[in-house]
Amino acid sequence: MSLMEEIGERAHRLAVPFSAQLDLTYRCNEDCVHCYLDHQDHGEMTTAEIKQLLKEMADAGVFFLTLSGGEIFLRKDFFEILECARALTFCIKLKTNAVLIREAQAARLRDLGVESIQISIYSHRPEVHDAITKISGSLQRSIKAIRFLRSQGLKVIMANVLMTENMHDYRDTHRLAEELGAEYTLDPTVTPMMNGDRGVLNLNVGETDLHRVFRDESLVGDAAEFCAPPRPLGEDNMDSTPCSAGHTACYISPYGEFYPCVQFPLSCGNVRQQSFIDIWRNSEQLNEVRSIRLRDLSSCSQCAHGGSCTRCPGLAFLEGNMRGPSTADCERSFARTGIPSANLLSQKEKTSSARLVQIQLVPAITGNRLSEVGNAASAVAS
Amino acid sequence: MNKKLYVARSPRIAARKLGEEMLVMSAQGSTLFTLNPTATILWQAADGVTALDEIVERRICPEFAVQPEEAKRDAQSLAEELAKHGILLVSEEPIANPSPAFQEQR
Domains located in chain B, CATH noted: 6-90 (3.90.930.60)
* Closest A-chain CA to B102: A87
- Residue A334's nearest CA partner among A344, A323, A324, A322 is A344
**Cβ-defined contact of A61 to B12 (cutoff 8 Å):** no
CA atoms within 13 A on the CB side of A61: 24
In this prediction the pTM is 0.87
DSSP H helical ranges for B11-67: 37-45, 52-55, 61-64
The H or E element containing residue A250 is: strand A249-252
For the stretch A111-137, pLDDT in tens is 999 999 999 999 999 999 999 999 999
Facing residue for A113 by CB, picked from B13, B105, B106: B13
What is the reported pLDDT for A365?
Answer: 34
Whole-angstrom distance, CA of residue B9 vs CA of residue B48: 8
ipTM value, please give it.
Answer: 0.83
pLDDT recorded at residue A232:
78
Confidence of residue B49 (pLDDT cuts 50, 70, 90): very high
Q: How far apart are CA A331 and CA A200, in angstroms?
A: 16
Of A83, A87, A113, the CB nearest to B27: A113
Contact A116 B106 (CB under 8 A): no
* pLDDT of amino acid A381: 31
Question: Which residues of chain A does B104 touch, with a Cβ-Cβ cutoff of 8 Å?
Answer: 87-88
Cβ–Cβ contact A107 with B under 8 A: no
- pLDDT per position as a tens digit, A255-271: 999 999 998 999 999 99
Chain A contact for B12 (CB, 8 A cutoff): yes
User: What is the reported pLDDT for A153?
Assistant: 95
- Using a CB-CB distance cutoff of 8 angstroms, which residues of chain A are in contact with residue B30? 115-116, 155
| Predicted local confidence at residue A382, as pLDDT | 27
- Provide the percentage of residues in chain B whose pLDDT is more than 70: 87
Inter-chain residue contact B14 with A116, CB threshold 8 Å: no
Interface contact B14-A89, CB threshold 8 A: yes
pLDDT (tens place) for every residue of chain A, 382 residues total: 788 888 999 999 999 999 999 999 999 999 999 998 989 999 999 999 999 999 999 999 999 999 999 999 999 999 999 999 999 999 999 999 999 999 999 999 999 999 999 999 999 999 999 999 999 999 999 999 999 999 999 999 999 999 999 999 999 999 999 999 999 999 988 888 877 788 888 999 988 898 899 999 988 889 999 898 887 778 778 888 888 999 999 999 999 999 999 989 999 999 999 999 999 999 999 999 999 888 888 788 888 888 888 888 898 998 889 999 998 889 888 888 988 899 998 887 776 654 444 433 333 333 333 223 333 333 333 2
H or E stretch including B90? Answer: strand B88-91
Give B-chain residues touching A92 at CB under 8 angstroms: 14
Nearest CA in chain B to A90: B14
A185 three-class SS: strand
